[in-house]
């Protein structure tokens, strides 16, 4: 192997940051088989358990029967299929926006939308803990990146007072992916109005989970109409794959003409579009309400038990429960010890989170059983004591 690549790998390993993937057999359900062992899955974003819901699977199979397996090309090349259009109409109705545009993934959405909106001479105000795909989009855009302290809208206000020129964009996760807290959306909306800026919210972890009928964090905070771009993903609570931007008709037209990840990539296949469409419909039903209620009860139970045991859990209420450990090595040791006890939870290290804030990121699913969660809490506490974390 090339020596410089070997050296780079060695340097990642020495810093305790080498990553690899684990083989999971079967479906992304509450319990999975990991290397032949039955374990409790506490690190999936399949929050409502829809990834193996029969309604999504049968919609997907029927779409393959009717439309085949591929979209064949980018939509600007071989056309929009009926399912793209149906899904976009359903998303716009769900999000109460004028229009919507589907992207191939959340990463493709963020890295396509932001450079379509801003470029050289413009400014992007971005929360310091925003998802990497947002940062990638900003870097691609060539706009000036100004980062504000996490959820600190007063800091943002001061920075906007000083630096807002050209076209300004405020961008934030709705629910922060590694911290599980919710952005101060009402304050962001006020700042956007004061400075005539655009506001973009990435609701990858709020869509389907928060707000009435799962419409997301902006709906929960009553600011849906202030958010110019509500981006969300189908691959998490919605149990499918891909992403959307809920926007005005003008913005949709601009994205079709400017978002390179939309223009230069083969569009999503029928099976995926149909599963997403079934999920958007399902989350708005009584069954969706029941799943959200269950998920919320699990989140309250799990957070309160671990906080009471003395773990460092940043304030929050959502289904993403971070247990901050600090050292990357200790975090991975904790994660390995948990797996040996039948609990699969991912250790999260830099560069995904800032240095010194490595953590276990537990994610809950509506389909977890109360008994399994109680047992997991016991294992986490026992190992936490043994490793001196609590
Ligand atoms: C906040 C946030 N935005 C965007 C993405 C990317 O979405 P996708 O996995 O669909 O590419 C993720 C996670 O993957 C995320 O957590």
236 in active site:
yes
Alpha carbon distance 151, 128 (integer Å): 8
Tokens of 309: 């045991």
Using the mean position of ligand 1's atoms as its centre, give its distance from the Cα of residue 109 in Å.
Answer: 9
The pLDDT value recorded for residue 110 is 98
Q: Whose CA is nearest to atom 7 of ligand 1?
A: 106
Alpha carbon distance 29, 47 (integer Å): 10
96 in active site:
no
The mean of the pLDDT values for the chain is 97
DSSP H helices in the chain: 3-14, 54-67, 75-78, 82-95, 106-117, 132-141, 153-163, 185-195, 217-220, 249-258, 260-263, 270-283, 286-308, 328-340, 370-386
Tracing tokens 């101060």 back to the chain, one arrives at 184
What is the rounded average pLDDT of the residues 7-35?
91
Cβ–Cβ under 8 Å, residues 178 and 212? no
Alpha carbon distance 67, 271 (integer Å): 8
Fold of 19-47+285-386: 3.90.1150
CB of residue 173 inside a 6 A radius of ligand 1:
yes
Q: Mind listing the pLDDT tens digit for each residue in 30-85?
A: 999 998 899 999 999 999 999 999 999 999 999 999 999 999 999 999 999 999 99
Which position among 177, 240, 261, 358 bears the catalytic label? 177
CB of residue 105 inside a 6 A radius of ligand 1:
yes
Residue 174, C-beta contacts closer than 8 angstroms, at least 6 positions apart: 182, 183, 185, 201, 202, 203, 204, 205, 206, 210, 216, 217, 218
Cis before 351? omega within 30: yes
Among 83, 91, 172, smallest CA distance to 128 is for: 172
177 in active site:
yes
Alpha carbon distance 40, 119 (integer Å): 45
Q: Mind listing the pLDDT tens digit for each residue in 143-162?
A: 999 999 999 999 999 999 99
Tokens of 343: 């609990």
Cβ–Cβ under 8 Å, residues 186 and 221? yes
Using the mean position of ligand 1's atoms as its centre, give its distance from the Cα of residue 117 in Å.
Answer: 19
Predicted confidence (pLDDT) at residue 1 exceeds the cutoff of 80: no
CB of residue 261 inside a 6 A radius of ligand 1:
no
Alpha carbon distance 163, 43 (integer Å): 39
How far from chain centre, in Å, is Cα 207? 9
Tokens of 167: 């076209």
Predicted confidence (pLDDT) at residue 333 exceeds the cutoff of 80: yes
Using the mean position of ligand 1's atoms as its centre, give its distance from the Cα of residue 133 in Å.
Answer: 7
CB of residue 233 inside a 6 A radius of ligand 1:
yes
Q: Mind listing the pLDDT tens digit for each residue in 251-277?
A: 999 999 999 999 999 999 999 999 999
Among 210, 185, 234, smallest CA distance to 288 is for: 210
Using the mean position of ligand 1's atoms as its centre, give its distance from the Cα of residue 161 in Å.
Answer: 30
Domains of the chain by residue range: 19-47+285-386, 54-283
What is the rounded average pLDDT of the residues 305-329?
96
Alpha carbon distance 141, 271 (integer Å): 32
Alpha carbon distance 243, 110 (integer Å): 9
Which position among 131, 192, 236, 368 bears the catalytic label? 236
Alpha carbon distance 319, 176 (integer Å): 11
Alpha carbon distance 379, 39 (integer Å): 13
Cβ–Cβ under 8 Å, residues 242 and 104? yes
The DSSP bridge partners found for residue 320 are 363
pTM: 0.96
CB of residue 112 inside a 6 A radius of ligand 1:
no
What is the end-to-end Cα distance of the chain in Å, rounded?
43
Q: Whose CA is nearest to atom 8 of ligand 1?
A: 106
What is the CATH number assigned to the segment(s) 54-283?
A: 3.40.640.10
Using the mean position of ligand 1's atoms as its centre, give its distance from the Cα of residue 270 in Å.
Answer: 21
CB of residue 133 inside a 6 A radius of ligand 1:
yes
Q: Mind listing the pLDDT tens digit for each residue in 182-229?
A: 999 999 999 999 999 999 999 999 999 999 999 999 999 999 999 999
Tokens of 295: 């998920």
* DSSP string covering 198-226: EEEEE-TTTTTTSSGGG--HHHHTT-GGG
């Amino acid at each position: 192997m090339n020596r410089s690549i070997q050296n780079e790998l060695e340097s990642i390993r020495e810093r305790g940051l080498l990553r690899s993937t684990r083989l999971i057999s079967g479906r992304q359900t509450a319990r999975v088989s990991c290397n032949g062992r039955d374990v409790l899955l506490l690190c999936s974003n399949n929050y409502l358990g829809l990834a193996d819901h029969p309604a999504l699977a049968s919609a997907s199979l029927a779409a393959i029967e009717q439309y085949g397996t591929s979209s064949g090309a980018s939509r600007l090349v071989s056309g929009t299929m009926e399912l793209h259009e149906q899904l976009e109409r359903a998303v716009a109705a769900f999000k109460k926006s004028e229009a919507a545009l589907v992207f191939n993934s959340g990463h493709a959405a963020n890295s396509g939308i932001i450079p379509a909106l801003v470029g050289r001479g413009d400014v992007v105000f971005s929360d310091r803990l925003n998802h990497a795909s947002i940062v990638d989009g900003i870097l691609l855009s060539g706009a000036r990146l100004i980062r504000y302290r996490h959820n600190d809208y007063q800091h943002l206000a001061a920075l906007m007072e000083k630096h807002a020129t050209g076209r300004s964009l405020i961008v934030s996760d709705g629910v922060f992916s590694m911290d599980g807290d919710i952005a101060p959306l009402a304050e962001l909306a006020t700042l956007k109005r004061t400075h005539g800026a655009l506001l973009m919210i990435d609701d990858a972890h709020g869509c389907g989970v928060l707000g009435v009928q799962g419409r997301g964090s902006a709906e929960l905070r009553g600011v849906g109409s202030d958010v110019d771009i509500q981006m969300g993903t189908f691959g998490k609570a919605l149990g499918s794959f891909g992403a959307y931007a809920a926007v005005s008709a003008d913005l949709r037209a601009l994205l079709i003409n400017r978002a390179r990840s939309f223009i230069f990539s083969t569009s999503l296949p029928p099976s995926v579009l149909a599963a997403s469409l079934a999920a958007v419909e399902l989350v708005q039903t009584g069954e969706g309400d029941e799943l959200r209620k269950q998920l919320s009860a699990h989140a309250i139970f799990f957070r309160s038990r671990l906080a009471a045991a003395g773990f460092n859990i940043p304030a929050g209420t959502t289904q993403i429960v971070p247990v901050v450990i600090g050292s990357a090595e200790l975090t991975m040791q904790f994660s390995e010890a948990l797996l040996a006890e039948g609990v699969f939870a991912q250790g999260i290290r830099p560069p995904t989170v800032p240095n010194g804030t490595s953590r276990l990121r537990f994610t809950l699913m509506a389909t977890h059983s109360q008994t399994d969660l109680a047992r997991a809490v016991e294992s986490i506490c026992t190992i936490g004591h043994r490793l001196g974390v609590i």
